[in-house]
Structure 1
Amino acid sequence: MTETWGNRPFRVGVIGAGSVAALHLDAAADLPEVEVAAVCDVRLSAAEQLAARFGARAYADHTAMFAAGGLDGVLITAPHSLHAPITVDAAAAGLHVLVEKPMATTLEDGQRMIDACATHGVQLAVGHVLHFLPSVREAWRILRSGSLGRPVVITERRTARYERGSRPDWFFDPVLAGGGILMNVGTHSIDKAQWLGGAAATSVHGYVWNQPGVEVETESVGLLELANGVRVVLSVTGTGLPFHDETEVVCEHGALRLSRRDGLWTYRGDEAVQVVTPEQDDIVAAFREQLADFVASCRDGRAPAVDAAYGQSVVATALALYASAERADSARIPGLNAEVAA
């Protein structure tokens, strides 16, 4: 039976008309319980082009889009530092919010978002889409089953192109982006380590470096300690290396390796088993499942799979890595009462 918002689909608008917005809207088009109603971007031509694919209205100002009505929720894919003011405006308009990661660029902005959505009685979900990727979900299930024993050490390594021209210019503006490769790509890695490790980070020791002429960092490494004692080694680099996205989790009785190139493998003694093949790892399906969870949380009044408190914990870890790098010493992370999302 098709789930609807009352007797009609849940109507969404998206703010930001880039490549990530297109993934969200392609996911929406695959869900009969969702209707793409509006697209907003300060570049009106970009909004019009994306909106035309879905028969949606186009706007250059999100407040005008909200004032026009006809929406139940919004997907925010704007530059990172704009997440907070747009979320506050959306909540005041009575709209549920799914905001892309990182949730915010400061903890103060994140709290403003949480407070606004609580005040107006709307949902606030954070788009850590890896929670819906088949290989990552299966890795989480295996680790929670206890079949490999307790996780002890996690190694998380990721590369991405991070020179000018590789992505929109705002990613290289430290105010709009809130940082460089750590805040943008590294928050994926922090999220994955925390979720698979079963706890939020409590302390870090970090280092960042930027290529000459680039205002934001293009390299980041860090050591993280999670609240349950699991140690994490984190490396995110943007300088010319081949694509690499791999996580290794060493446990008491075995290990697993999660790779975008090779899929998911488990190891026990001399036995190596491929659990998920790369072909089964579907990012489009992950965006679809994420949106379906968001809509269901709005309909049922339950918490989304990735809530705002958890989103804050990822931002807090990234900010602590920056602070550690600046003073060349370890940094503690303030307690945020965040539970690792299920």
Structure 2
Amino acid sequence: MAAAKTARIAFIGAGTHATESLYPNIPQIPEFELVAVCDLDANKAEYWARRYGARAFTEAQAMLDEVGPAGVCVVGPPEMHYEVGLQVLERGIPVFIEKPPAPTLAGAQELAEGARAAGTWGMVGFMKRFAPANVVAKEYMASGEFQRLSSITLIHSAGPYEDLRRMLMFNGIHMIDLSRYFGGEVVELFAYAFEAEPGLRTVSVALSFADGAVGQLNLNSGQHWRDCFEQVYISGAGAGILIDASRTVEVMAAGRRFAACDGLELYGWSGRYYVSGNMAGWAAGGHYTRGYWGELARFARAVAGLEPPAPTIEDGVAAMRLIDAIIESATTGRPLKV
């Protein structure tokens, strides 16, 4: 059997999110060959490089010069995504950057332009697109049974945030991206925002999509970080999809009914997909079910030329544009064309 095609990939950033949510996926991705780890903290770089059999660096440019990776992952604060991401792209190297892709919309646009100018591409870490429950929902939406999208409602509740922009950029951006993943381009929105008390912020956004469908995005920081809440409900024509925390997906449609139920007054029928508590191994863990494995596998396969990259930096630009529009609408009290 021929060996799997691999991509030599370097990782810049060895902080908590990178090492707890992303690095553990690498051994499970045949196409991902980790060749270098770079972090300003030499101890972190050396520890994680040794653990994954890679070389350690504390300076990104030196790492790029010496290792010459085929792709680079950049995971840290948004300022780092922007600054280091540009340095990587300028060399013509594909880059995976975590969300948000930059501190500002202008910065995200500069990254997209940098990729185009260098003849390369970039991906943004919208991992919820790769959560199996969301992939199943997207597949069903493309079926004839679902027909066309009519509406979508997205809800997310997390822990406290200092201000609305931070809440949207660091957490809400996932649901904003899912609205586009499921609904397509947003052409108009109207946002209401409310601060009940310091740290407790809410925003409710009415969405209008290019194909005529409508949506509602409800985000708040009224819970605590140990128990976030997330649900998505998608309506078609004669069918609906309920996704709970990107872990389970339930399809409600006449075609899902498994018994005639003659003579019985029964309402509601569905087909449900979920991650079983009886599963063992990799597929039962959060790295897989939340989509972290999927996004890194897609990046490695794209670097290896096996699949197209997605979601791209342009998707990151679109999410940042929606964030700016939500804040402007909430501030001015007016609907806004996007």
With normalisation by structure 1, the TM-score equals 0.82
Q: Would you say 1:14 and 2:12 are equivalent positions?
A: yes
- Which contiguous aligned blocks of 4+ residues in structure 1 show a shift greater than 6 angstroms? none
Identity of aligned residues (%): 20
Of 308, 311, 317, the residue aligned with 2:316 is 311
**Helix, strand or coil at the partner of 1:180:** helix
CA contact (8 A) 1:134 1:281 kept: no
Alignment-derived partner of residue 70 in structure 2: 72
8 Å CA contact 1:156, 1:234 repeated in 2: yes
Q: Does 1:183 align with 2:159?
A: no
Q: Name the residue aligned to 1:94.
A: 92
Residues 1:326 and 2:323 are matched in the alignment: no
Q: Which runs of no fewer than 5 residues in structure 2 stay unpaired?
A: 255-266, 277-282
2:206 is aligned with 1:206: no
The TM-score with structure 2 as length reference comes to 0.83
Distance change >3 Å, CA 65–CA 221, structure 1 → 2: farther
Segments of structure 1 that go 5 or more residues without pairing to the other structure are: 164-171, 334-342
Which residue in 1 is equivalent to 2:260?
Answer: none
Deviation at 1:81, TM superposition (A): 3.2
Kindly indicate whether the alpha-carbon contact (under 8 Å) linking 1:263 and 1:274 is maintained by their aligned counterparts in 2: no
Which residue is 1:296 aligned to? 301
Instruction: Kindly provide the amino acid, as one letter, of the partner of residue 329 in structure 2.
Output: S
Question: How far does residue 232 in structure 1 lie from its aligned partner after superposition?
Answer: 1.3
1:136-192, Cα deviation, whole Å (9 max, x unpaired): 0010011111312322121111112235xxxxxxxx6x7xxx932211211111111
Shifted more, 136-145 versus 223-232: the winner is 223-232
Count of aligned pairs:
315
**Alpha-carbon distance between aligned partners in 2 of 1:3 and 1:211, rounded to the nearest angstrom:** 54
Q: 1:284 aligns with which of 282, 287, 305?
A: 287
CA–CA distance in structure 1, aligned partners of residues 196 and 62 of structure 2: 40
Q: Which region of structure 1 is more displaced relative to structure 2, 93-102 or 245-254?
A: 93-102
Of the structure 1 ranges 262-271 and 276-285, higher mean CA displacement relative to structure 2 is found in 276-285
Query: Max radius of gyration: which structure?
Result: 2
> Per the alignment, do residues 102 and 296 of structure 1 end up closer, same or farther by CA in structure 2, a change over 3 Å counting?
same
Pairwise mapping of residues 82-161 of structure 1 onto structure 2 (< 5 A)?
82-161=80-159
Alignment match, 2:220: 237
Whole-Å Cα distance in 2 between the matches of residues 257 and 226 of structure 1?
20
Deviates more, 1:311-320 or 1:269-278: 269-278
User: Is the CA contact (8 Å cut-off) linking 2:131 and 2:247 kept in structure 1?
Assistant: no
Tell me if the contact between 2:252 and 2:271 (Cα under 8 Å) persists in the aligned partners. no
Is 1:260 the counterpart of 2:245 in the alignment?
yes
Aligned counterparts of 1:186 and 1:24: Cα–Cα separation in 2: 20
State the partner residue of 1:169. none
The CA distance in 2 between the partners of 1:305 and 1:264, in whole Å, is 22
Greater RCO structure (CA 8 Å; 6+ sep):
2
Rounded Cα–Cα distance in structure 2 between residues aligned with 1:61 and 1:218: 38
Q: What secondary structure is seen at the aligned counterpart in 1 of 2:228?
A: coil
Instruction: Quote the offset at 1:282 in angstroms.
Output: 5.5
Q: Does the residue aligned with 1:179 lie in a helix, a strand or coil?
A: helix
With over 3 angstroms needed to count, the CA separation of the structure-2 counterparts of 1:108 and 1:12, relative to structure 1, is same
For the aligned residues, what is the CA RMSD?
A: 2.7
